[in-house]
Amino acid sequence: MIPPSFDYHAPDTLEEASRLLLANPEAKLLAGGHSLIPMMRFRLAEPAALVDLRKIPGLSGIREDGGSLRIGAMTRESELEKSDLVQSRYPLLADTTRVIADPVVRNLATVGGNVAHADPGNDHPAAMLAYRASFVAAGPSGQRTIAASDFFTGPFSTSLEEGEILTEIRIPEAGPGSGGAYRKFERKVGDYAVAAVAVQLQLDGGRISGAGVALTNVGLTAIQAGAAEAALVGSDGGDAALDAAAEAAAAAADPTDDHRGSADYKRAVVRVLTHRAASSALTRAREAS
């Protein structure tokens, strides 16, 4: 199907991109295009203009700096897959990237687009909530940093203001005793999750001193499961704590019946996946101690 007509711009600077967005209220940013173009082909999105980020320098790359892992918004999923730094030190991120779409899609899909699109089915938002990540946005009034927990305001909506562009994702730098995992249940390769669970843990002297637990595609946005986090913190990660966390995560899920399954089924999937993700995160955190 043919997308609707639009004006195309490919500015060289963030300032120009932001100016174009403000001048055209019906404009949208174009990153990898792998969510936006399918929506345009179905006429679910009909932006009057597209502002392509591809020519703006400095928007992609992966590096550790100033206590964070910094990922440029235009970094492709395949770059995370091929990054030794991500694969060796950020297992939750490595797990997540591997289950997003398929290998050909991952060559173009960007991490920033995945976060900014804020589809409840996107996998990075839950991982970012579990990591306690933050997002850097550039806009007409300069640059600001937004905590992941303040970013996802509803399905396909974020706290980015008009004219703001997501430029970087920051994940707290991995240290001794940290580890995470992402567990996704999908019907087939390339499908969005029936349900998925992200867990990030910090161990201190054999006990869990910090926990992030978040859920994909079982609500209007990715859900941070605070009660599940509380069930883990202070424990030694034994079965009782994992069971309690799994129950709490299932209770935090707010799924609906659809072609991927009934709400009850999805809640059961969340329970099982939370247990598995927490158990794997714990093993990895111990190995990193």
Partner 1 sequence: MSSHQISVTINGEQHTREVEARLLLVHFIREELGLTGTHIGCDTTSCGACTVLLNGVPAKSCTVFAVAADGAEVTTVEGLGNGGLHPVQRGFTEKHGLQCGFCTPGMMLTSKALLDENPDPSEADIRWGISGNLCRCTGYVNIVKAVQRASELMKENSDG
Ligand X SMILES: Cc1cc2nc3c(=O)[nH]c(=O)nc-3n(C[C@H](O)[C@H](O)[C@H](O)COP(=O)(O)OP(=O)(O)OC[C@H]3O[C@@H](n4cnc5c(N)ncnc54)[C@H](O)[C@@H]3O)c2cc1C
Do 31 and 113 touch, CB atoms closer than 8 A?
A: yes
In the complex, least distance from residue 251 CB atom to ligand X, rounded to whole angstroms: 24
Q: How far apart are alpha carbons 32 and 159 in whole angstroms? A: 21
**Based on CB atoms, which residue is closest to partner 1, 258 or 287?**
258
Q: For ligand X, what does the binding mask look like between residues 6 and 45, x meaning CB under 6 A?
A: ----------------------xxxxxxxxx-x-------
To the nearest whole angstrom, how small is the minimum distance from the Cβ of residue 121 to ligand X? 6
50 interacts with partner 1 by CB under 8 A: yes
Chosen residue from 85, 108, 227, 263 binding partner 1 by CB under 8 A: 108
Q: Which uninterrupted H or E stretch holds 104?
A: helix 103-106
Of 84-92, 117-125, 139-147, 271-279, the window that binds ligand X (rule: CB under 6 A) is 117-125
- CB nearer to partner 1: pick between 35 and 134: 35
* Of 70 and 106, CB closest to partner 1: 106
Establish if 63 lies at the interface with partner 1 (CB under 8 A).
no
Q: Is 7 a residue that touches partner 1 (CB under 8 A)?
A: yes
Give the contact letters, 231-270, x = binds to partner 1 (CB under 8 A), - = no: ----------------------------------------
Q: Taking CA 185 as the corner, what is the angle to CA 180 and CA 188, rounded to the nearest 5 degrees?
A: 130
Structure tokens at 31: 């990153």
Tokens in use for 181? 């995992």
Q: Are 31 and 73 in contact (CB under 8 A)?
A: yes
CA-nearest of 111, 106, 264 to 189 is 106
- CB-CB contact of 277 with 198 (8 Å): yes
Residue 73 binds ligand X, judged by CB under 6 A: yes
Alpha helices (H) along 132-238: 226-232
Tell me if 269 sits within 8 A of 195, measured CB to CB: yes
Closest to ligand X by CB, 215 vs 231, is: 215
Tokens representing 63 are: 């590096």
DSSP 132-194: T-EEEEEETTEEEEEEGGGTEEETTEESPPTT-EEEEEEEEPP-TTEEEEEEEE-SSTTPPPS
Sites for partner 1 among residues 72-91 (CB under 8 A): 78
The stretch near partner 1 (CB under 8 A) out of 30-38, 127-135, 174-182, 242-250 is: 30-38
Does 112 sit near ligand X (CB under 6 A)? yes
Three-state SS at 135: strand
- Residue 82, C-beta contacts closer than 8 angstroms, at least 6 positions apart: none
Residue 165 touching ligand X (CB under 6 A): yes
Which residues sit at the interface with partner 1, rule CB under 8 A? 1-8, 10, 30, 33-34, 37-38, 41-42, 50, 52, 54, 78, 101-105, 107-108, 189-190
